Structure 1
């Protein structure tokens, strides 16, 4: 029911209504009145806006953190020295027959030691262990391979046998039974792959001296950083067959006791033949003046492959 125009409404006198019509409030005043009347709805809307903004900000922060974590180096890599050129692949041996071979010393396994030819089982075991130690130094010890001294290898030999090893140090012969890296050659972090075996027997020299003769026949495959390669790495293969002799301690003077080199031969693949002439190993191409290889290079990885190879350095 409409109230008479001149009557009071809700307890307010009608003159107040007239006063409101006669006084025209400014825009700012009217805006405050409008906001006051709609305060609850404005607060609710503002709360929704702030909630959405907070959610969007949290999502953005999470995305930035995820990108940062993916780009940051892992703790194991932090502080590692930077290397120029392509990064060596972790699968440097992946495309070779050596891909599943044992790494490093794991491939150098001794046969069971049994008494033979006047040598006890313990003496055979000690002799085999001595040969294995010399092989590990000669072909797998990085400090020795990159160093400039034969001393780490010499200590495995009998005192009177060391002079001949010293003479081999800067000659092609050293590469037959030991690995010396050229100064500019860099191995990848991968351990070399090895495959082969030891055999042994007892022999007697013409003068009656008993000898434990140990033959090592191994293929060694090294991964090198190679800036000339598209992948940034390459492999070098060495196959050696070495006959080591240890005279019976009761048959010789003290200076003759220990390890001697009796016979050795080897071939290589994927190496710089000019460096080999100085007893050094680095990756490189084939010798173009040599007889071309007529067989599959993968066959060279077989320890039973004949050592005589016309294309070898």
Structure 2
């Protein structure tokens, strides 16, 4: 377990949540791990005459279930209808113009049944953009263009299966501003890249079912630390993936990723052309029901059982892990 707490910082002006042991299925008794990006790995970008200070803080947190196997991997979900709802820490949405997921979930049965993800829309339908309005010197057209670019990057990072299985990250990296790309390549190591994007471990297989998606997009105009106008966009989504594997109880085979990203798009009149485009200034995440060995490499795979020796460990309410408003402050236990 982690000895230090990781509490998401609030946005700052000017900077780019019954029965005995015999009732608990084997996949609940798993370990999970938290990955954090230390201060030495935070981005410090100075862009010449029109430089902007950029800090990239990455916290990738992996969640624990009710019991864990020693030396094993991944949180596993189990639904216990008899248990009353439990309180868990939540976060307050950032200030600004926002939109939450609005599409309806598909009616058919599938691997997400019995989990909160069954009520989520499929794939990109779960990413609803807020109305584009003129704000802070940005025209409605500029706001719309920025939001569309971010949505495209999210679809590539989390939903594009060709990208998930490719070794080359450039399909995503090239969607950033030219002067941001090299820093994304250098500063996001394999273990940290999972906070930004989904890549599958060798041998991991998703079911044909599209991932389920639920969350929120919020934007506001502000100024960065150098005084330049930026459109600051916060995306907060839960992504649920259905992996191939045995399904005994609800949630078997479902891997959950919850990420919160802060993007900045500078006003084109304030910066050089190479600075114009997408920047990501803060990344925080946790994942659940994953294989620890894979996640150490920044890859997703379904958690696997261990030696069967249970270890009692505190855990949040399982359903809370599917809540976009759940705090990402979760102990390191992997």
Unaligned runs of 5+ in 2: 1-107
Change (3 A) 1:206 1:299: closer
Q: CA deviation at 1:311?
A: 4.6
Aligned match for 1:111, one of 114, 123, 130: 130
- Aligned partner of 1:307 in structure 2 is 328
Matches for 1:33-44 after TM superposition, within 5 Å: none
Q: CA deviation at 1:248?
A: 0.7
- Aligned partner of 1:296 in structure 2 is 317
Rg comparison, structure with higher value: 1
Aligned match for 2:163, one of 144, 148, 160: 144
- Aligned partner of 1:239 in structure 2 is 258
Q: CA deviation at 1:206?
A: 3.0
CA separation in 2, counterparts of 1:275 and 1:219? Answer: 20
Q: Does 1:265 align with 2:284?
A: yes
CA separation in 2, counterparts of 1:103 and 1:175? Answer: 21
Change (3 A) 1:205 1:286: farther
Change (3 A) 1:293 1:221: farther
SS in 1 for 2:150: helix
SS in 2 for 1:129: helix
Task: Please list the CA deviations of residues 16-44 of structure 1 after superposition, one character each: whole Å capped at 9, or x if unmatched.
Answer: xxxxxxxxxxxxxxxxxxxxxxxxxxxxx
Matches for 1:78-89 after TM superposition, within 5 Å: none
Change (3 A) 1:312 1:194: farther
Q: Does 1:154 align with 2:173?
A: yes
TM-score, normalised with respect to structure 2: 0.63
Matched-pair contact (CA < 8 Å) for 1:188–1:223? yes
CA separation in 1, counterparts of 2:109 and 2:208? Answer: 8
Aligned match for 2:214, one of 184, 195, 201: 195
Q: CA deviation at 1:155?
A: 2.0
Aligned match for 1:126, one of 115, 132, 145: 145
Q: CA deviation at 1:312?
A: 6.6
CA separation in 1, counterparts of 2:312 and 2:149? Answer: 38
CA separation in 1, counterparts of 2:160 and 2:166? Answer: 10
Q: CA deviation at 1:293?
A: 3.8
Between the two structures, name the one with larger relative contact order (CA 8 Å, sep ≥ 6).
2
Change (3 A) 1:234 1:97: same
Could you list the runs of 4 or more consecutive aligned residues of structure 1 that deviate by over 4 angstroms after TM superposition? 229-233, 285-291
How many residue pairs end up in the alignment?
A: 224
Higher-helix-fraction structure: 1
Change (3 A) 1:223 1:239: same
TM-score, normalised with respect to structure 1: 0.67
- Aligned partner of 2:198 in structure 1 is 179
Q: CA RMSD in A?
A: 2.5
Task: Please list the CA deviations of residues 49-91 of structure 1 after superposition, one character each: whole Å capped at 9, or x if unmatched.
Answer: xxxxxxxxxxxxxxxxxxxxxxxxxxxxxxxxxxxxxxxx961
- Aligned partner of 1:218 in structure 2 is 237
SS in 2 for 1:220: strand
